Amino acid sequence: MAGGLQVSLTATDPLSTPERESPSLQGFAIQTRNGVDPNSGARLALSVLSDKSQNAVDSTFNNEFGPGGRTPRVPVTRIDFSGYGASLYSHWRNPQAEIAQTSEVRFDVVVGRTAHEVVQIRSILYPWAVRVVRTITIQRTGGGGVYRRDSGWVASSDGLFQFMPHSAGSTIETHPGVVRGVFNIRRIRDTTHAFDRVLDGVPVRLAAVRFDCEVQLSDVTVGAAGGLVTSVDQIGFVQLDPPGVPLTPQQYAALLAAEGPLGGPVDCLMDVGRSGQRMRITRVAVATAPKPQGGIEFAAAALGSLLLPKDGQWSLCRQPSDLTRECEPVDPHTGVPLVREGLATIPEAANTAPYRFAEAADLLADTSRRNIALLWSTGTQRLLFSRPRILKGAKSITSDVAPLLADAFSKVSSGGLFPAPLTCLRVPFVNYALEILGESQLRLVLPSATFGAQPVSGNVRRELSAGASTRILSDYTNTRITVALDSLAPQTFRYEQTGVAIVQEKDGVHAKTSRGRFHASSAETTRWTLEAEEFGPLFDRPKNLMPMFSSSDLAGALPPEGATVPLNPSSTVVKIYFCLIN
pLDDT value at residue 400: 92
**Does residue 127 have a cis bond before it (omega within 30 degrees)?**
yes
State the pLDDT at residue 569. 45
pLDDT higher than threshold 80 for residue 370? no
pLDDT band with cut points at 50, 70 and 90 for residue 32: confident
Q: Which residues lie below 8 Å from residue 411, measured CB to CB, with a gap of 6+? A: 380, 382, 419, 572, 573
Tell the burial category of 310 from Cβ atoms under 10 Å away from its Cβ (0-12, 13-18, 19+). exposed
Over the stretch 556-576, which tens digit does the pLDDT of each residue have? 444 545 555 565 544 444 444
The pLDDT, as a whole number, for residue 166 is 46
Q: Compute the average pLDDT of residues 65-93.
A: 86
* CA angle, 278 then 283 then 288, to 5°: 110
Q: What are the beta bridge partners of residue 528?
A: 518, 565
Mean confidence (pLDDT) of the chain: 87
What share of the chain in percent tops pLDDT 90?
A: 54
What span, in angstroms and rounded, lies between the C-alpha atoms of 32 and 52?
A: 16
pTM for this model (two decimals): 0.86
CA triple 187-189-190, angle to 5 deg = 160
Whether 309 shows a pLDDT value over 70: the answer reads yes
- Angle CA 10–13–15, to nearest 5: 155
pLDDT digits (tens, 9 = 90+) for 222-254: 999 988 999 999 999 999 999 988 999 999 999
Closest CA to 132 of 73, 190, 215: 190
417-441 residue pLDDT tens:
899 999 999 999 999 999 999 999 9
Residue 566 confidence (pLDDT): 61
